[in-house]
Amino acid sequence: MSEALKNFGVVKAEEMVLNMGPQHPSTHGVLRLRIRTDGEIVSHIEPHIGYLHRCFEKHCENVTYPQVIPYTDRCDYLASMNNNHVYAMAVEKLMDIELPERVEYIRVIVAELQRIASHLMALGAMGLDLGGVTPITWTFRDRERILDLFEYTCGARLLYNYIWIGGLSHDLPPKFVQYANEFLDYFEKQIVEYDRILTYNKIFVERTADVGVLPVDVAISYGCSGPVLRGSGVNWDLRKNEPYSIYDRFEWEAAVGKGEVGTLGDCWDRYWVRVEEMRQSVRIVRQALAQLPKEGDVHAAIPKKIRPPKGEIYFRAENPKGDLGFYIISDGSPVPYRLKMRSSTFCNLSVLNEIARGWMISDVVAILGSLDIVLGEIDR
Amino acid sequence: MSAYFRNIGIAISTLWDGMRLTWKHFVNKKELNATLQYPHEKWPIPERHIGFPEASYNIIRSRLHVDIDNCISCRRCERACPIHCIKIDAVKAPKDHELGQTSNGTDKKLLVARFDIDMAECCWCNLCTYDCPEECIYMVGGPNGKKHPIDYEFSKRDRNDLVFQFATASDEQVAEISAAAGVADPRAARKQRRENYYLPDGGQAEAVDVKAADKADKPAVDKPKVKAKPAEPKMDMSALSVIEDRVVRGLAKKTAMGAVRAGKQPVEVAEAVKAALSEAGKLTAALETIIGQLAQATITQPEAAATEKPVAETKAAKDTPEGEIDLSVLDGITDRMARGKAKAILNRAKRQGGPVAAAVDEIRTTLSGLGKLNSEIEEILAKLEG
């Protein structure tokens, strides 16, 4: 808590309960925040969720393993490829499937492109929440290009059902590598523009630097992950620390917050980690495109009948928003006996009360934007 | 102090930088535009600003289409669908019925009686298309553009139009093959279910009724209706209907009803009504005479009503053969009001067993009083008399 605000709070006024949401532009979907305020100072925040609850887990107990994939698309709908990827890898681990090289490379390419798209959305929305209207049009424009590439590949722009258990629905279309490289060349310049218009903009920095500082111990005890955890200076990226798929073959660095303009772990650091991650993702995609094997059937390893043996599995991977985990219990039938999804944004949101206490209501918007939540995944 | 000015300096320089960038985009709006004026200008779906050629797409998820001639109704797509928006009914054809072959050369053994896809429910997961052994279900456009052109913004006026029905077999064909195969006609059964959907019991009671009627060999309508309500003593209250004031009439009738239900005699009932009206301060001399008439009315007891009424009805039916008075003759009257009046009078005469000629006279006088009597009606009435 900053010094000025501490003094401001000395004058105790009557507390008021304020409902923010579920229809509020800065609550990113349908989140209701029940804020107890003292004047304009927040004394307690209670997030109320469940407005987008669709019984994802129960639903999965009634559909076969491949049919779950369209449902995972709809959890974190800004990062559907990553959701598909994690779920497919979980079932593959349960069934002991060896994948062709080409499939692994294509998966990494689309997952990293999707990570860029998800972070673009986070950047633009955070700028918009804080009053910068221009950046979101630019980030959306570039996100569209990634979605175009995906549409070119699998026909869908948002909910792909592209990564299957044991393979992919389609091979890459001809010239995909060329188009993707063209996009990366174009996009690297765009990141510089985002830095100029938003990242180092004085107004933006004033709104985010030193605001909502998340200490490392709090972040870990609340189970935060992804850019929220790395923004606090913890070098923890599952792609580096527990390499899955083929991430150990590429040269890149995990983006970790440094406290460049303010305190370590403030809103700006969490924001900056995302910008830096986009740069790293570009690096990964470039290497993957260069190393992509020419030959390989993406349908080769898809089992005829998907009936995992009896047993259970927990598999987690680094999504744009944090660790996404799938816990699957199989009873040997074509339908999962139980499927649990560990949502990263659910944990990230739970820390809101801890870091937003003592700040003003307008800062809550900045903090919420920096947490980058998606209600589709929180409520499931 | 220097920190203060440095702060201002940073603020101005970053703002200036941002503004310059915005200006650049403003000037170069043709190159770097982010929006498209949608209804006025459209991107043809496959070629966006990156310029992918349509044929090189892996797939375009536009709309599901089924080449029904190639469908062998294996139902794999139906099973693959995670939300069950594909509905298939099929009839197995007997050996002597040839259904032909698909373009892949597979014999068709089942007749597709129904192949509905509810595109309002579809989640575009594309899972149904991969499983199809004949490749007859697919998303239109793109690489499938040769089979079916792309359906840009396939919007419909009505949500029900989004249920696409692909089965082309005629009703007769379905009926013939299911009869030959000895199974129920799925299409006719569905139609029946749909027609009966809004009946209170889904049309089941009707079906039972028809069976019962068939057994008894006479229409079910003739059966005496059994009232669920317990029988109550009744009294002729028509005397009270003369009262003009609605409030007074209502009060009088209500009191009378209550008294009758309590099992009182007509004289007591009249007394009760009188008391109620005088209490309300509405009793006049004219009303007293009316209530006096009420005292002479009779009360029908429930037991008597239950046993005697049907007998009386059947008697009446026997005494006046109903065949003579045929209401349908009056259907020839074109004027709706005149027809209604005439029918009502004739119906009353029929029920009371009165002579037809008197009823016809009454119709004549009523209609001429309304100015509705014309040559057409005269003709019909003459027919009725003759």
CATH number at residue A159: 1.10.645.10
Q: How confident is the model at residue B318 (pLDDT cuts 50, 70, 90)?
A: very low
In this prediction, residue B332 carries a pLDDT of 75
Is A12 a member of any domain? no
Nearest residue to A370 (alpha-carbon basis) of A175, A173, A202, A127 = A127
Interface contact B131, partner A, CB < 8 A: no
Q: How confident is the model at residue B223 (pLDDT cuts 50, 70, 90)?
A: very low
Beta carbons of A76 and A83 less than 8 angstroms apart? yes
Q: Which residue has the higher pLDDT, B210 or B381?
A: B381
Residues B86 and B164 in one domain: yes
- Closest CB to B82 among A67, A137, A200: A67
Domain region containing B368: 322-385
Average pLDDT over residues B192-200: 75
Least confident among A248-252, B162-166, B204-208, B306-310: B306-310
- Number of domains chain B contains: 3
Residues B337 and B280 in one domain: no
Average pLDDT over residues B276-288: 76
Interface contact B50, partner A, CB < 8 A: yes
Identify all chain A residues contacting B130, using CB atoms and an 8 Å cutoff: 169
Is B204 a member of any domain? no
Residues B298 and B332 in one domain: no
Domain region containing A176: 52-345
Cα distance between residue B239 and residue B256, in whole Å = 11
Preceding amide of B321 cis, omega within 30: no
Residues B326 and B272 in one domain: no
Task: Return all residues near B236 (Cβ < 8 A) that are at least 6 apart.
Answer: B297, B298
Interface contact B57, partner A, CB < 8 A: yes
B137: distance to nearest CA of chain A, Å? Answer: 16
- Number of domains chain A contains: 1
pLDDT for B121 beyond 90? no
Q: Do B52 and A170 touch (CB under 8 A)?
A: no
Highest mean pLDDT among A110-119, A298-307, B259-268, B292-301: A110-119
With 0-12 CB in 10 A as exposed, 13-18 as middle and 19+ as buried, what is B334? exposed
**Which ipTM was obtained for this model?**
0.74
Residues B174 and B66 in one domain: yes
- Enclosing H/E stretch for A339: strand A338-342
Cα distance between residue B326 and residue B214, in whole Å = 26
Is B253 a member of any domain? yes
- Closest CB to A161 among B21, B126, B139: B126
Residues B77 and B136 in one domain: yes
In this prediction, residue B314 carries a pLDDT of 45
pLDDT for B4 beyond 60? yes
Which alpha helices (DSSP H) does chain A contain, by range? Answer: 3-8, 56-60, 65-73, 80-95, 101-129, 134-154, 176-194, 202-208, 216-221, 227-230, 238-241, 267-291, 344-350, 352-356, 361-371, 375-379
- Closest CB to B61 among A67, A145, A156: A156
Q: Do B32 and A134 touch (CB under 8 A)?
A: no
Residues B292 and B356 in one domain: no
Interface A-B: count of C-beta contacts within 8 A: 95
Residues B80 and B170 in one domain: yes
Q: Which residues pair with A35 in a beta bridge?
A: A18, A45
- Closest CB to B82 among A63, A183, A201: A63
- Closest CB to B59 among A70, A71, A170: A170
Identify all chain A residues contacting B35, using CB atoms and an 8 Å cutoff: 137
Highest mean pLDDT among B124-133, B222-231, B246-255, B286-295: B124-133
Is A27 a member of any domain? no
In this prediction, residue B308 carries a pLDDT of 45
Output the average pLDDT for chain B. 73
Identify all chain B residues contacting A140, using CB atoms and an 8 Å cutoff: 34
Is B30 a member of any domain? no
Nearest residue to A63 (alpha-carbon basis) of A337, A340, A335 = A335
- Closest CB to A134 among B22, B50, B124: B22
Is B226 a member of any domain? no
Is B44 a member of any domain? no
pLDDT digits (tens, 9 = 90+) for B127-141: 888 888 888 888 877
Q: What is the largest CA-CA distance in chain A?
A: 71
Identify all chain B residues contacting A60, using CB atoms and an 8 Å cutoff: none
Is A154 a member of any domain? yes
Residues B77 and B175 in one domain: yes
Is B62 a member of any domain? yes
Is A19 a member of any domain? no
A211: distance to nearest CA of chain B, Å? Answer: 18
Residues B244 and B133 in one domain: no
Beta carbons of A335 and A64 less than 8 angstroms apart? yes
With 0-12 CB in 10 A as exposed, 13-18 as middle and 19+ as buried, what is A310? exposed
Is A294 a member of any domain? yes
Q: Do A156 and B52 touch (CB under 8 A)?
A: no
Residues B73 and B117 in one domain: yes
Cα distance between residue B235 and residue B261, in whole Å = 10
Instruction: Kindly report the number of other CB atoms within 10 A of residue A352's CB atom.
Output: 22
Low-confidence stretches of chain A (pLDDT beneath 70): 1-13
Average pLDDT over residues B174-200: 77
Is B211 a member of any domain? no
Is A89 a member of any domain? yes
Identify all chain B residues contacting A145, using CB atoms and an 8 Å cutoff: 49-50
Instruction: Kindly report the number of other CB atoms within 10 A of residue A238's CB atom.
Output: 20
Identify all chain A residues contacting B5, using CB atoms and an 8 Å cutoff: none
Q: Which residue has the higher pLDDT, B156 or A134?
A: A134
In this prediction, residue A87 carries a pLDDT of 92
CA distances in angstroms from A285 to A105, A108, A184, A290, listed in the order given: 9, 8, 8, 8
Share of chain B above pLDDT 70, in %: 74
Q: State the residue for tokens 């429930």.
A: B302
Cα distance between residue A307 and residue B288, in whole Å = 92
pLDDT for B29 beyond 70? no
In this prediction, residue A273 carries a pLDDT of 92
